[in-house]
Structure 1
Amino acid sequence: MHGYLRDLGLLRDRRFTLLLIARTVSVLGSAFAPVALAFGVLGLPGATASTLSVVLTAESVPMIAFILVGGVIADRLPRQRVMMAGELLMAAGFFGLAAMLLTGWTPLPALGAAAALSGVGTAIAFPALTGIIPEVVPADRLQTGNALLGLGANASRVAGAVLGGGTVVLFGGGWALVASGAMFAAAGVLLAMLRLEPVARPRGESHSMFADLRDGWREFISRQWIWVVVAQFSLLVMAIQAGHGVLGPLMAKESLGGPAAWSAFLAGEAVGTIAGVTLSLRLRPSRPILVGVLLCLPTALPYLLLGLDAPLWAIVAGGFVLGVCFDVFGVLWQTTMQREVPAESLSRVSSYDMLGSLMFGPIGLLAAGGAAAFFGTEESLLGCAVIIVVATLAALLSPGVRNLRAPQRHDTAPADADAR
């Protein structure tokens, strides 16, 4: 208990608390989106699973295309301003989607364009987030800071899964997307209030964007544990995008009861992430990447249960397991990246991480609709589970994944030291 109280002492830092609130509000906006967008699009006249695949792919492709640019920008410019710009772009994208659903003017190219705008915003904001945390949190409190940020984000996911589903049921997907846009805008305003000291960048001759990307690639590829896990996640995310983005909602619509059932699954997953991030506050494995990769194996469980047509309570429990495992992995991964990668390259390495992890996501989204029609929804979900297990077992063959050790931790600083 004393350890948890010391962890919470970080909340006395005004800068960290402001970043925490901004991140929490932004994730709350994101949490409304999956149910609102999925059932808003599927509810359009003549819409099919392929229609939803196209809209979600239109969001994912620009996010992947611009992620490396976002990493270079975040290593060159104040990361606070870069994050703020990303949040405002996401707000604009979701306001556009909401306006189309509410007015009934929903041509597919326009829906795709609005979704693409939100994807660009994500590409700009995410690498800056990874890099800004060490600017706010002391080096010996990085795992605590990542865990507390994750706790706020996951609480938002729980609330968003419940409130988003309820808003869709009561008012429709358009109004849920309005709420999402408003929250992204609020996060942008909160980030504008964050005051950080200018970070000294290495001096020297100016580099082109290509040179910056090349230097970031060298940092990325020089660490086997990074590129192996990123390769693993390229396949995991492909399966998860197909399962979460298309196949799961389609299964819910066909046999589980529609938006309310899918919201229950997402809520179970979100509650699991809260449990996972609470666990990660105190979990200090000597081999953090090995533990994180092992925790990816149980994440296949919800797709297995969906594919076997299990009862809803079991599927929700599977979502809970997925949430626990992925969130512990996320905290261990972020903290290890922030400790092992030089600060001046961190956003670029993070952008390569995100690019590699997400690059097959659009394939999963595009293939999901066709796979459901050709093989069947249940069979396609079982295929997602198989992909997750095989990719994870392959990653465990890497010595870099198995052998990387965390530095020895010394918890000697008093809790008062966090009040700055």
Structure 2
Amino acid sequence: MKSTAGMQPPRLAPLRIQAFRRYGLANLVSATGSAMAPLALAYSVIGQGAGAGSLGLVLALNAVPTILFLLAGGVLADRLSRSRMLFLGNLLAAAAQGVLAATVGSGLATTASIALCGLVSGIAVAFIQPAAQGAVGQLVPPVHLQQANALLRLPGNAVRVAGPVAGGLVVAAYGPAWALAWDALTFAAAALLLLGLRLDAPPAVGGALSALREGWAGFRSRTWLWTYTAAGTVLVAAWLAGFQLLGPLVAARFYGGARGWGLVQASFAGGLLAGTLVCLRWRPRRLLAVAVAGGAALVLPLTALGTGLPLPVVLLSAVLAGVGLDITIVAWTTAFQQHVPAAEQGRMSAFNGVGERLAIPLGYLLTALAARVWDTRTVLLACAALIAAAVALNLCVPDVYRVNRRPGHY
């Protein structure tokens, strides 16, 4: 049998499929707004004179509804049309961001109102993510899954390079409301594009509760899946608490505020783009091991910020983190799609998503409290240490090295 390493894949083959092109365009349009949204949200809170506590509350309330509704989204993604779920999820996100932009722009926004809009956005994510995970397998042949996953991320990551810089300039010049309004508009445009995507509903067997129980049994039976999820519980919480919560606060104090933080985010996005280009050419056999190891790169920017290194060093560390993270995402998504049956992907994705998000609200709140007791940079270094430990422990799991690329798959 020939090794896949010696074969030259048709890297652009998924683009020949009209439905895939529509799906990719919807992702690209949405990404142009999402690239500005985190910075705009952070400075909506900071602009009120609030600190780590208020921002931590807002980010936590954005994560909680996703955790609560994600299992429902996973069951529905294995029973209903995934394209319809994607349409409704994007429409709900557009409404939430539109209301948020209006309240921030009118000067009526409070921490509570910002958090409430974030809560609605979190519900939207709970229905978008499981449907999106299973939709790709319905759009392209199995042999082209990695190419499809990389191509979907390529334009979005390209937008994210300029998006944070543009967002920083917009926020600095006109305020965060304009960036949030653009995010709402792009969600609405993506919803309209997805409305024309017709994906058949997976065959449903039994009731919803029965499907949930079967999904849990399938999740527990895959050691590689639940151990990756358990490591992700720590890694994702530590990364988001460090980068999204403390990052803007450190930038506001030491790196020039919104403009400086926009450069950091743009550098991170540039790394994501570079990682996607790597994934279009590199086809590692040990997909899951590569996915786990790539997460270690997230330690770099947190360490650079935590040790007070100069901005150019912080930017370089953000680039390297982006490269590692994108390789992780593409390798993980491809391994998941190749080793989980299509009819179970919504539920398995939901259990994985719940596990990875479970500690996020607590992580935000604990980090915000810790930042009141210890120096912010010390807390950033603690987040970096947690990520390093999670990656090291996950690499000790033997099943990580058994979930490899299927023969003949690109």
Q: Normalising TM by the smaller chain, what interval? A: over 0.9
Alignment of 1:193-204 (within 5 A): 193-196=196-199, 198-201=200-203, 204=205
**2:229 & 2:382 partners in 1: Cα distance?**
20
| Aligned position for 2:224 | 225
**2:377 & 2:179 partners in 1: Cα distance?**
29
| Aligned position for 1:112 | 115
State whether residues 160 and 266 of structure 2, in contact with CA within 8 Å, keep that contact through their aligned partners in structure 1: yes
Q: Which amino acid aligns with 1:201?
A: P
**1:241 & 1:405 partners in 2: Cα distance?**
28
| Aligned position for 2:65 | 62
Q: Which amino acid aligns with 2:115?
A: G
Q: Which amino acid aligns with 1:158?
A: V
Confirm or deny that 1:328 pairs with 2:332.
no
Confirm or deny that 1:292 pairs with 2:291.
yes
**2:8 & 2:98 partners in 1: Cα distance?**
39
Runs of 4+ in 1 over 6 A off after TM superposition: none
**1:332 & 1:9 partners in 2: Cα distance?**
18
- What displacement does 1:210 show? 2.2
Change (3 A) 1:4 1:375: farther
**2:102 & 2:9 partners in 1: Cα distance?**
45
Q: Secondary structure at the match of 1:405?
A: coil
Alignment of 1:396-411 (within 5 A): 396-409=395-408
Q: Tell me the TM-score normalised to structure 2 length.
A: 0.95
Confirm or deny that 1:169 pairs with 2:172.
yes
Match of 1:38 among 34, 42, 47: 42
| Aligned position for 1:83 | 86
Q: Which amino acid aligns with 1:146?
A: N
**1:118 & 1:199 partners in 2: Cα distance?**
24
State whether residues 297 and 325 of structure 2, in contact with CA within 8 Å, keep that contact through their aligned partners in structure 1: no
- What displacement does 1:297 show? 1.6
**2:330 & 2:8 partners in 1: Cα distance?**
16
Structure 1, unmatched stretches of 5+, are 412-420
Change (3 A) 1:257 1:91: same
Q: Secondary structure at the match of 2:12?
A: helix
Q: How high is the sequence identity, in percent, across the aligned residues?
A: 38
| Aligned position for 1:23 | 27
* Count of equivalent residues: 405
Q: Secondary structure at the match of 2:10?
A: helix
What does the per-residue CA deviation read over 1:105-136, in whole Å, with 9 as the maximum and x for residues that have no partner? Answer: 12333222111011100111011000000000
Deviates further, 160-169 or 88-97: 160-169
| Aligned position for 2:4 | none
**1:109 & 1:166 partners in 2: Cα distance?**
26
**1:93 & 1:181 partners in 2: Cα distance?**
8
Query: Once superposed, what is the RMSD of the aligned Cα atoms?
Result: 1.6
- What displacement does 1:199 show? 4.5
- What displacement does 1:12 show? 2.2
**1:389 & 1:292 partners in 2: Cα distance?**
14
Q: Tell me the TM-score normalised to structure 1 length.
A: 0.93
| Aligned position for 1:9 | 13
**1:28 & 1:124 partners in 2: Cα distance?**
21
State whether residues 80 and 201 of structure 2, in contact with CA within 8 Å, keep that contact through their aligned partners in structure 1: no
What does the per-residue CA deviation read over 1:37-58, in whole Å, with 9 as the maximum and x for residues that have no partner? Answer: 10121011x4222111111111
**1:26 & 1:219 partners in 2: Cα distance?**
32
- What displacement does 1:410 show? 6.2
What does the per-residue CA deviation read over 1:304-355, in whole Å, with 9 as the maximum and x for residues that have no partner? Answer: 1101000011111111111100101111111111111111110110011111
| Aligned position for 1:414 | none
| Aligned position for 2:54 | 51
Q: Secondary structure at the match of 1:22?
A: helix
Structure 2, unmatched stretches of 5+, are 1-6
| Aligned position for 1:383 | 382
State whether residues 154 and 274 of structure 1, in contact with CA within 8 Å, keep that contact through their aligned partners in structure 2: yes
- What displacement does 1:200 show? 5.0
**1:161 & 1:255 partners in 2: Cα distance?**
18
**1:396 & 1:162 partners in 2: Cα distance?**
36
Q: Secondary structure at the match of 2:308?
A: coil
| Aligned position for 2:266 | 267
